[in-house]
Amino acid sequence: MSEVALLRAMFDAAVASALPARCVAGCLPEVPTGRLVVIGAGKAAAAMARAAEVALLPAAGDRLSGVVVTRAGYEVACERIEVLTASHPVPNAASVAAADRLLAAVRGVRAEDRVLMLLSGGASALLCRPADGLSFADKRAVHEALLRCGASISEMNCVRRHLSGIKGGRLAAACWPAPVTTLAMSDVPGDDLLDIGSGPTVADPTSCADALAVVRRYDIALPAAALALLAAGAGESVKPGDARLAGHEVRLVATPRMALQAAARVAEAAGVRPVLLGDRIEGEAREVARVMAGIALSAAAHGEPAAAPCVLLSGGETSVTVRGDGTGGRNVEFLLALAIALRGRAGIYALAADTDGVDGGAEVAGAWIGPETLEHARALGMDPAEALARNDGHSFFAALGQQIITGPTLTNVNDFRAILIV
């Protein structure tokens, strides 16, 4: 097996480990005596809904109903659960309509019923309900500004929660008095429930003041109405101890760590030692790349932290401060900076891709690099440093024929990075 083929096999194993058909059924709650209302949002929501439906229909029958929203192209047909589509990573009018539909689905539920929430990455955009006083245009402008500012996912979601009419525990509160079980597929560093889809069904200890601090830290130009709402403290979310969330439970069905462990097993089977560097790596993509390059070069030269053949595996979610006009995503930004830092070092290959199949706004999961990547690029008249300065990773790797294109994977456990030293 070639080095690139081995990297791809590890990535494919990571994705396969988190497929809803494999991981949802064992985490489902018991069927209630009343109605079972299934709601959901995220890139994996439709696939999760189908897996839940297959397992629950025999016992629930006509008492099962629901509606979920997913990214266009990620639909999976269900029998009793309606599947809606909306836009990602920036919400559209369908995202607002989806939020209204989910709220309508749980209106009137009773204590003997149960709400099953199916949550995965992407829900922050797919489920959009502007807070009172904000327009949809305001909310869309907030999303666009957050995606370009370089803030971490936790910081971005703090702002989103306090400008939302459905996130930050508000959806769970709307389900009261019915108990809520959330099955969550983690796509965030540390599996923080607040940050999976901006926490629509979990209590939020952060405040409007915390959100305002993020805005000031990154000098984010918010619409006037959004800034005024935060400054006045009018966007407070549902806090811990709220009686409407009593009895609510969250079960993690898939996590980045599980995906990395699946990839590690593939490496071991190929006689390559896996070194797990962590599942919650954050920071500017190009800065993380420089650190990772240093570790890879140390392994190649000194056998530390492991001797070749070995593979450095990591997950998490880096960020990109967009300054250029190129087409990119955080994974290709990482890879481009990594290639520059490695300077064509022999025996080092790498792959970085998003497990949902979409890196940034492009229908491309990521890319791969090898010792000849920089030389090949320059032979084609491309300047790697200039491409990085323009945040143009997708164009760069498309020209080289080194993109990873999967199509919709129907799952999402965040970014996958593997650096192979042979």
The pLDDT of residue 354: 97
Exposed, middle or buried, 379 (CB in 10 Å: 0-12/13-18/19+)?
exposed
The pLDDT of residue 18: 97
Q: How close are the terminal C-alpha atoms of the chain, in Å?
A: 13
Task: For 106-163, write each residue's pLDDT tens digit.
Answer: 999 999 999 999 999 999 999 999 999 999 999 999 989 998 898 999 999 999 999 9
DSSP H or E run through 369: strand 366-369
The pLDDT of residue 288: 98
- Which CATH topology does 31-254 take? Rossmann fold (3.40.50)
The pLDDT of residue 190: 87
DSSP structure class, residue 245: G
The pLDDT of residue 247: 85
- Adjacent-strand bridge partners of 368: 351
**Cis previous bond, 371, omega within 30:** no
Complete DSSP assignment for 385-419:
HHHHHTT-HHHHHHHHT-EE-----S----EEEEE
* Residue at token pair 């990075």: 417
The pLDDT of residue 189: 86
* Residue at token pair 């409407």: 244
- Domain segments of the chain as ranges: 3-11+257-421, 31-254
- Residues of the chain with confidence (pLDDT) below 50: none
The letter for the amino acid at 97 is A
- Which CATH topology does 3-11+257-421 take? glycerate kinase, domain 1 (3.40.1480)
The pLDDT of residue 315: 96
The pLDDT of residue 269: 98
* Residue at token pair 């042979």: 422
* 163-196 per-residue burial string, b: 16 or more CB within 10 A, e: under 16: bbbbbbbbbbbbbbebbbbbbbbbbbbbbebbbb
